[in-house]
């Protein structure tokens, strides 16, 4: 549970332009707040306005290194009212960011949406996406060879140039009154992008387009009510604007919301690979993972862990000696389920005193935050045999801090249980697990659980079994991306990046050994 995620996206399109245009920024506020957990380093919004015959900018664009609440004015009601009034419109897209590419030197420039300015309406657009491109190096090289400058150094910039190139091509091959062909555009970059992307784009006429990658790595859902269509990374964002019936955007599909109609086209049929980590960690308990309630999945995580519990007999015979509780928040349901399996109740022992998520913060902030995120209720822990349920472990920084808190509170024993199997391979599809060396499960070639228990100073440490994970999620194994668990990457460039990285890290290890002397071997 200390991972950085891709991001989150949402969009809205009014069915009638004469409907109260304040619905758009108000809805963006609600939806972005619902997906805030997916990205906490910045917020952005792009709005298309009706010019009403007056000269003005059809796109309004706002990006800040703020959380969603502060982005919309926070407790300053006057500022909030000003923002909501200025950003009235007929359609809009929004984005919460945690970056998985790019440096932190130009953080504000990396925030999405990106706005492509142009004098011609047909060539301007505003877009954002959730994910990561595994073939970024190849795409970058191709653009540089074609005399393009990449100033920001993020995959969003690559996509922006690809869209611009295709619009230029469309205009060159069209009649005088050129109108962008969104579905041709979608097919063009879907043929060229390898990786994860749920992409939203506002075109120059205010229509809203969406594309989901052929593997369906990242979630994307949409729905409608009497006044508007809405689309978002998670179903709970739609419920925040009064849409309870949702539809999943199918992998490899593109959808266009316009004044005339909603058009959905299936562009590609590829191997589906839904990111399993969405179900384990990222999605809200109240959301759905590919039509399956996340709440149900996480409950089953706890049941599957309980089935392999080596202390089962001791727990049943001596319930009073044990206390079961989660490392909040993604493990809450699993802990309750695990406890119920043994006829017990998961206790609310570990308190989260900050809304910050350690995993999705930079390395220099994680240590600072870990001492300020959690607190423990000492008298519930003192003298007890602890079973701590955690959703996942990547680097182990957060868990070490939690274990120290529990020990300092006087626990007798600590037994750690993880709802996800060992993460042993890097991710190139939008989650910040980008090296082999940072993954704690890779520190040990054998007896991983035993060695991690020794490192953490706990009595036992147990991972979820792979079969238990698949059973709990409820989808066929072949439709789930588990590359970070098994090393089976579902795309060509994912495999290439993994092989390149392994060679680089092996060479660095050899260099350290030879340069650092015997002590480094």
Residues 238 and 306 in one domain: no
Residues 200 and 324 in one domain: no
Residue 353 pLDDT level (bands cut at 50, 70, 90): confident
Q: Is 36 helix (H, G, I), strand (E, B) or coil?
A: helix
Q: Kindly state whether residue 363 falls inside one of the protein's structural domains.
A: yes
The Cα 442–Cα 444 span in angstroms is 5
Place of tokens 């049943």: 316
Residue 120 pLDDT level (bands cut at 50, 70, 90): confident
Place of tokens 């350690």: 358
CB 215, CB 272: distance < 8 Å = yes
**DSSP class of 464:** P
Q: Interhelix angle for 77-86 vs 23-34, to 10°?
A: 120
**Number of domains into which the chain is organized:** 2
Residue 518: pLDDT above 70?
no
Residues 215 and 315 in one domain: no
The continuous run of DSSP H or E covering 62 comes out as strand 59-64
Residue 358: pLDDT above 70?
no
Residues 75 and 150 in one domain: yes
Residues 264 and 305 in one domain: no
Question: Domain boundary residue among 439, 454, 476?
Answer: 476
Mean pLDDT of 6-17: 91
Residue 363: per-residue pLDDT: 54
- CATH number, domain containing residue 232: 3.60.20.10
% the chain with pLDDT above 70:
90
Residue 146 pLDDT level (bands cut at 50, 70, 90): confident
Q: Kindly state whether residue 505 falls inside one of the protein's structural domains.
A: no
Residues 317 and 257 in one domain: no
pLDDT digits (tens, 9 = 90+) for 187-220: 998 999 999 999 999 999 999 999 999 999 999 9
Torsion of CA 358, 362, 366, 367, to 10 degrees: 170
pLDDT digits (tens, 9 = 90+) for 366-410: 555 555 578 899 999 999 999 999 999 998 988 999 999 999 999
Q: Residue by residue, what is the 3-state secondary structure of 219-269?
A: CCEEEECCCEEEEECCHHHHHCCCCCCCEECCCCEEEEECCCCEEEEECCC
Residues 255 and 328 in one domain: no
Q: Kindly state whether residue 448 falls inside one of the protein's structural domains.
A: yes
Q: Kindly state whether residue 291 falls inside one of the protein's structural domains.
A: no
Q: Kindly state whether residue 37 falls inside one of the protein's structural domains.
A: yes
CB 154, CB 105: distance < 8 Å = no
385-390/195-202 β-pairing: unpaired
Residue 122's domain spans which residues? 7-270
Residues 351 and 237 in one domain: no
10 carries an active-site annotation: no
Q: DSSP string covering 409-441, please?
A: TT-SEEEEEESS----S---SSSS---STT-GG
Residues 98 and 229 in one domain: yes
Catalytic position from the list 7, 128, 427, 493: 7
On whether the pTM is more than 0.85, the answer is yes
The Cα 230–Cα 13 span in angstroms is 6
Q: Kindly state whether residue 281 falls inside one of the protein's structural domains.
A: no
- CATH number, domain containing residue 307: 3.40.50.2020
Q: Which of 14-18, 51-55, 86-90 has the lowest mean pLDDT?
A: 51-55
Residue 434 pLDDT level (bands cut at 50, 70, 90): confident
pLDDT digits (tens, 9 = 90+) for 225-256: 999 999 999 999 999 999 999 999 999 999 99
Mean pLDDT of 315-321: 96
Question: Domain boundary residue among 456, 476, 496?
Answer: 476
Mean pLDDT of 134-139: 95
In Å, how far are 77, 132, 408 from 86, measured between CA atoms?
A: 14, 32, 52
Residues 155 and 264 in one domain: yes
Within 10 angstroms of residue 263's Cβ, the number of other Cβ atoms is 13
Residues 46 and 182 in one domain: yes
Q: Kindly state whether residue 239 falls inside one of the protein's structural domains.
A: yes
Residues 34 and 143 in one domain: yes
Q: Kindly state whether residue 293 falls inside one of the protein's structural domains.
A: no
Helix ranges (DSSP H) in 67-224: 68-71, 77-86, 107-110, 136-145, 155-172, 182-192
HSE value, Cβ hemisphere, 13 Å, CA-based, for 102: 26
The Cα 488–Cα 435 span in angstroms is 16
Terminal C-alpha separation, the chain:
31
């Amino acid at each position: 549970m200390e991972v950085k995620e891709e991001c989150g996206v949402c969009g809205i399109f009014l069915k009638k332009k004469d409907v109260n245009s304040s619905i758009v920024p108000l809805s963006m506020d609600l939806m972005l707040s619902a997906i805030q957990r997916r990205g906490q380093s910045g917020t952005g919004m792009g709005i298309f306005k009706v010019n009403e015959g007056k000269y003005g900018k059809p796109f309004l664009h706002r990006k800040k290194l703020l959380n969603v609440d502060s982005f919309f004015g926070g407790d300053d009601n006057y500022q909030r009212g000003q923002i909501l009034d200025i950003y009235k419109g007929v359609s809009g897209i929004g984005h919460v960011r945690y970056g998985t590419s790019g440096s932190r030197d130009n953080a504000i420039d990396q925030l999405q949406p990106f706005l492509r300015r142009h004098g011609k309406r047909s060539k301007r657009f505003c877009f954002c996406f959730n994910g990561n491109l595994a073939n970024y190096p190849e795409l970058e090289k191709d653009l540089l060879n074609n005399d393009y400058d990449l100033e920001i150094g993020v995959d969003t910039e690559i996509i922006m140039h690809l869209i611009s190139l295709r619009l230029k091509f469309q205009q060159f091959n069209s009649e005088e009154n050129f109108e962008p062909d969104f579905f041709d555009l979608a097919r063009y970059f879907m043929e060229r992008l390898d990786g994860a992307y749920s992409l939203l784009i506002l075109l120059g006429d205010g229509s809203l387009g969406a594309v989901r990658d052929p593997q369906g790595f990242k979630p994307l859902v949409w729905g409608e009510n009497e006044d508007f269509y809405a689309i978002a990374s998670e179903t709970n964002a739609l419920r925040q604007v009064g849409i309870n019936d949702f539809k999943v955007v199918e992998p490899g599909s593109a959808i266009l919301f316009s004044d005339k109609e909603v058009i959905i086209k299936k562009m590609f049929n590829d191997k589906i690979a839904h990111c399993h980590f969405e179900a384990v960690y990222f999605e809200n308990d109240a959301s759905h993972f590919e039509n399956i309630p996340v709440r149900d999945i996480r409950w089953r995580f706890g049941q599957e862990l309980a089935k392999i519990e080596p202390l089962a007999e001791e727990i049943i015979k001596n319930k009073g000696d044990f206390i079961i509780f989660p490392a909040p928040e993604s493990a809450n349901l699993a802990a309750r389920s695990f406890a119920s399996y043994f006829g017990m109740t998961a206790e609310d022992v570990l308190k989260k005193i900050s809304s910050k998520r350690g995993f999705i913060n930079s390395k220099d902030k994680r240590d600072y935050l870990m001492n300020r995120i959690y607190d423990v209720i000492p008298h519930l822990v003192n003298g007890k045999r602890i079973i701590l349920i955690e959703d996942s472990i990547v680097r182990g920084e957060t868990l070490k801090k939690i274990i120290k808190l529990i020990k300092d509170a006087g626990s007798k024993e600590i037994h750690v249980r993880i709802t996800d199997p060992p993460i042993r391979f890097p991710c190139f599809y939008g989650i910040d697990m980008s090296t082999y060396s940072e993954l704690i499960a890779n520190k040990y070639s054998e007896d991983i659980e035993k060695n991690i228990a020794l490192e953490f100073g706990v009595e036992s440490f147990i991972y979820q079994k792979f079969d238990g994970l698949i059973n709990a999620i409820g989808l066929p194994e072949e439709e789930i991306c588990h590359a970070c668990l098994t090393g089976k990457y579902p795309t060509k460039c994912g495999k290439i990046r993994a092989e390149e990285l392994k060679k680089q890290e092996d060479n660095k290890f050899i260099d350290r050994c030879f340069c650092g002397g015997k002590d480094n071997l």
